[in-house]
Amino acid sequence: MSDNYLLNLYRKTRRIPKGRELFSLIFSRKAPYFGTVRPLIAELRPNYCEVHIKKRKAVENHIGTVHVIAICNALEAAMGAMAEASIPKHLRWIPKGMDVRYTAKANSDIVATAEVDADAWENGPDLPVTVTARRDDGTVVVAGTIYLWVTEKPARDA
């Protein structure tokens, strides 16, 4: 088993009934704004995360589609889980920016993914994470990049 706390928690909760839901709730409590879209972390592994959100009134816009800001929230949740599950122990990360394109109407539930190359984790100001949101029929509704600032963790006092 990995020594990554988030991957370990994900694997443990997956073994119990409604484990994904429990894990997703725990994860959303760490960054409460994620909870506004009720993300379900469907898959988490090093360098990849898949989050599902339901199309419901609370995340819809004035034309009845999933609001792009709700989708960006799901994309950031996927990126955050992926980053925490992937980053080497001596590094830390913080989001630096997000560039997204709206490519189609989001008229169904949404699957948001975040993915990065395994060898990309190094100290620097612009680690690009590929993010994509798809509707039920597989059509991409939002595509883009979230940039992370990655730095060395400070040395701990002895």
Q: Where are the domains of the chain?
A: 5-152
pLDDT digits (tens, 9 = 90+) for 15-31: 999 999 999 999 999 88
Model confidence at 105, pLDDT cuts 50, 70, 90, reads very high
CA dist 74 and 129 (Å) reads 14
Model confidence at 156, pLDDT cuts 50, 70, 90, reads confident
- Alpha helix segments (H runs only) across the chain: 5-14, 19-30, 68-86
Most distant CA pair in the chain, distance: 58
CB 28 within 8 A of CB 74: no
Per-residue pLDDT at 99 = 97
pLDDT digits (tens, 9 = 90+) for 71-102: 999 999 999 999 999 999 999 999 999 999 99
> Does the domain made of 5-152 have the CATH classification 3.30.230.10?
no
DSSP letter string, 109-123: -EEEEEE--GGG-SS
Per-residue pLDDT at 70 = 97
